[in-house]
């Protein structure tokens, strides 16, 4: 690929990332972090298989940065309780696995981290608050916020509440604001 095409591709990628995050909900931003980490690990695997050492290291470093600086740092350990602590430990484990994969050229370790990220992303997608709200549109038409607070929540709302507390900082709530709102919505955890 010549320099002009590479430059155009990089510019397109930047615009695509900028537009995909502009106006995105906090939930979507976490999903984009999962997507970026999965993509970086996948690229690292390809570079590893082609023995492209520098490119492999760059992609693994990128995946670690997304996991540590994005996913792990977005956790609210105070409000998230055991779930947030377990996620933090899992993110640390994944970062360590990626470091070892880089040093040992271990494709299996990359596959393991990729599977963990895909599983977490799938679980995250199931608790999308926008989908929960859209599931009860009639109750939300008159007074959307009050209806959301007063509406009975399905059994699967409890994991969503816990995950919401774990990522409370991302949603723009501190522990107090989230706990106050969640106690109205879901009862005490």
Report the pLDDT value the prediction gives residue 134, as an integer from 0 to 100. Answer: 56
Model pTM greater than 0.75?
no
Report the pLDDT value the prediction gives residue 65, as an integer from 0 to 100. Answer: 96
pLDDT digits (tens, 9 = 90+) for 103-147: 999 999 999 999 999 999 999 999 877 665 555 554 444 444 444
Q: Which residues contact 33 (CB under 8 A, 6 or more apart)?
A: 66, 70, 71, 74
Q: Which residues contact 148 (CB under 8 A, 6 or more apart)?
A: 133, 140, 185
Report the pLDDT value the prediction gives residue 182, as an integer from 0 to 100. Answer: 38
pLDDT digits (tens, 9 = 90+) for 90-101: 999 999 999 999
Task: Tell the residue number behind the tokens 């933090």, with chain if given.
Answer: 88
pLDDT digits (tens, 9 = 90+) for 30-89: 999 999 999 999 999 999 999 999 999 999 999 999 999 999 999 999 999 999 999 999
pLDDT digits (tens, 9 = 90+) for 137-187: 544 444 444 444 454 444 444 554 555 556 654 444 333 433 343 333 333
**Residue 14: how many other CB atoms lie within 10 Å:** 10
30-35: Cβ within 8 A, 24+ apart: 30/71, 30/74, 30/124, 30/167, 30/170, 31/121, 31/124, 31/125, 33/66, 33/70, 33/71, 33/74, 34/71, 34/117, 34/120, 34/121, 34/124, 35/121
Going by pLDDT thresholds of 50, 70 and 90, the confidence category of residue 26 is: confident
């Amino acid at each position: 690929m010549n320099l002009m095409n590479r430059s155009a591709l990089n510019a397109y990628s930047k615009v695509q990332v900028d537009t995909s995050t502009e106006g995105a909900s906090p939930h979507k931003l976490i999903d984009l972090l999962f997507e970026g980490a999965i993509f970086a690990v996948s690229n690292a695997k390809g570079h590893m298989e082609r023995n492209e050492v520098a490119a492999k290291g760059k992609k693994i470093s990128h995946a670690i940065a997304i996991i540590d600086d994005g996913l792990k740092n977005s956790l609210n350990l105070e409000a998230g309780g055991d779930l947030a602590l377990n996620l933090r430990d899992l993110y640390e484990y994944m970062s360590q696995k990626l470091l070892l994969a880089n040093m040992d050229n271990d494709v299996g370790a990359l596959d393991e981290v990729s599977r963990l990220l895909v599983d977490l992303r799938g679980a995250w997608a199931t608790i999308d608050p926008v989908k929960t709200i859209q599931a009860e549109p009639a109750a939300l038409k008159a007074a959307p916020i009050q209806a959301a607070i007063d509406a009975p929540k399905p059994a699967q709302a409890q994991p969503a509440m816990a995950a919401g507390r774990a990522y409370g900082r991302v949603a723009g709530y501190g522990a107090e604001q989230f706990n106050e709102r969640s106690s109205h919505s879901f009862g005490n955890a």
